[in-house]
Amino acid sequence: MNLSQHILSGLKSNVSAISKLQSWTSCRSHFTYFKTRVSGNGNLKKMNMFNAINNAMDLALQEDKTALLFGEDVGFGGVFRCSVNLRDKYGNDRVFNTPLCEQGIAGFAIGVANTGATAIAEIQFADYIFPSFDQIINEAAKYRYRSGGLFDCGSLTFRVPCGAVGHGALYHSQSPEGYFAHTPGLRVVIPRGPIKAKGLLLACIKDHNPCIVFEPKTLYRAAVEEVPTNFYTSELGKADILRKGNDLTLIGWGTQVHVLLEVADLSKKHLGIECEVIDLVSILPWDRNTICNSVRKTGRVIVAHEAPYTQGFGAELAACIQETCFLQLEAPVKRVTGWDTPFPHVFEPFYLPDKHRCLAAVREIFNY
C-alpha cells in the first residue's frame, strides 16, 4: 500500500469523525490560536498582540529620540489600544494625532523619514490604506531608486490592522498584501501573534527600507503569549517552519497560519497525513528557499489566504513553486482563499478559507 492509498483508506474510515467537526458553532472566531513559544533565559511577560506591539513601540521610542508615532487617534491610545500610554510617556510632539487623511499620513511619514528621523505611521484599517496608495507605491517604494540613492525614506514603517474579524464586512476585513507585493522597494510583513509582531515591528523600524506591517486585528486580543520583554528583532524575508512534515506543505500567513496548524492536526488524526506548516511571514521580499525546499521534499502544496483568489499572493507562490519544483510536484499547487467577491458581512463563515475548506483541499490533493 503506497502512501496515497493509505491516506485514502484512512480518509474513508474517518468520514464520520470529520463531519462532527463541521458543526459551525456560535464561536466568533474561525480559528484556534496556536501559541509561539520562545526558549532562552530572557524575561518573559504574558502579552496579547496589542500589548506586544505597544511594548515594541515603547522600546523604539525609548531607544531612538528621533522616532515619532502618529496616525488617526493614536494619541489617546489608538482604536485598538496599540499606542496606549505612549503619549503620556514620550510627549505630544512624538506621539500624536494627525488629521483624518491617509494620503497625508503617508506623505508626512515619508518626509519625516527623508530627514533620517524614524517614522512609525498607523493607517487605522488596511481597508483605508488605498488613499495613500500613490504615496506608498509611487513615492515611498521608489525614493531611493529614483534618486540614485541620494535620498530615501528607509526609516519609515507603516502599521496597518488587517484581516477578518468576524463581522467587519467590506471595509474592516480586507487583506490587501497582494497589491503591495507587486511593488519593488517595499517590505511587507504579517505577524501571526504577539512574539512575532514585536520582533517584526522592531525589525521593520530598524530596517533601512520602507516597511508595511499588516497586523491581523482579530489577534490583537485573542492571541496571548509569553513575550520577551527585551529588545529583539525577527528576521525579515524569512519564513518560519512551524511544524515539520513529509507529505504536504501548507503555506499561510497571519491568522491563516492558525487555521493551517489545526488542519495539520486534523490531517494527521483523520487522514494520517503529516503536513509541514510554514508561516510565510514576509510577503515581500519572500523566502523562496524555505518554501521551495519544503515543496521539493513533500511534492504537494496548499497555499491559503483570506484575500481573494485571483491575483492573490497565492498566485505568485503557485507560479514560482511550479517553475522551481516542477519535477518534484505530485499534484497541482492548490490555493484555498477568499472568494473573488468583496468581503461580505453576514456571509463571512462561508467566505473564509476555514479549516473545513483547507482539509477538503488536503483530501483533494491526495485524491489527485
Partner 1 sequence: MALIQKSIKLSQVLGRRQNIKLLWPTTTSAKTHFQRSYTSVPSAQFPGANAPFVNTLKLTQPEDFSPIPIYRVMNSDGYIIEESQDPKLEKEVVEKMFRDMLLLNTMDKILYESQRQGRISFYMTNFGEEASHIGSAAALELRDIIYGQYREAGVLVWRGFRIDQFIDQCYGNDDDMGRGKQMPVHYGSKELNFVTISSPLSTQMPQAVGAAYALKRRPDNDACVVCYFGEGAASEGDAHAAFNFAATLSCPVILFCRNNGFAISTPSREQYRGDGIAGRGPAGYGITTIRVDGTDVFAVYNAMKAAREYVLRENKPILFEALAYRVGHHSTSDDSTAYRPAEEIEVWNSVEHPISKLKRYMVHKGWFNEEEETEFIKNVRKQVLKQISVSEKKLKPNWREMFEDVYAEMPEHLLQQRKELEQHIADHKDAYPLKEFKQ
Residue 365 Cβ vs partner 1, minimum distance, rounded to whole Å:
27
Give 166 or 237: the residue with its C-beta nearer to partner 1.
237
Give 19 or 147: the residue with its C-beta nearer to partner 1.
147
Angle at 362 between CA 358 and CA 364, to 5 degrees: 110
CB 263 within 8 A of CB 297: no
156 pairs with which residues across the strands?
A: 119
CB 305 within 8 A of CB 337: yes
Phi/psi at 61 (5° precision) = -70, -35
Write out the binding residues for partner 1, residues 296-355 only, by CB under 8 A: none
Residue 177 bears catalytic tag:
no
Residue 208 bears catalytic tag:
no
- Residue closest to 202 by CA, chosen among 160, 152, 157, 136: 157
Interaction of residue 146 with partner 1, rule CB under 8 A: yes
Angle at 317 between CA 316 and CA 321, to 5 degrees: 120
Give 89 or 208: the residue with its C-beta nearer to partner 1.
208
Among 71, 77, 78, 107, interactor with partner 1 by CB under 8 A: 107
DSSP assignment of 137-204 equals IIIGGGHHHHTTTS---TTEEEEEEES--SS-GGGSS--THHHHHTSTT-EEE--SSHHHHHHHHHHH
Among 57, 82, 110, 202, interactor with partner 1 by CB under 8 A: 110
Angle of the 355-367 helix axis to the 256-266 helix axis, nearest 10: 50
Interaction of residue 113 with partner 1, rule CB under 8 A: yes
Binding segment (CB under 8 A) for partner 1, from list 18-26, 129-137, 165-173, 239-247: 129-137
Catalytic residue among 72, 122, 172, 258: 172
Interaction of residue 98 with partner 1, rule CB under 8 A: yes
Among 114, 229, 322, 328, interactor with partner 1 by CB under 8 A: 114
Distance CA 53, CA 202 (A): 9
Residue 66 Cβ vs partner 1, minimum distance, rounded to whole Å:
7
Interaction of residue 288 with partner 1, rule CB under 8 A: yes
Task: Look up cell 502579552; give the residue.
Answer: 47
Residues that bind partner 1 (CB under 8 A): 66, 68, 93, 96, 98-99, 101, 103-104, 106-117, 119, 131, 134-135, 138-139, 142-152, 154, 184-185, 187, 207-209, 237, 285, 288-289
Cite the active site residues: 102, 172
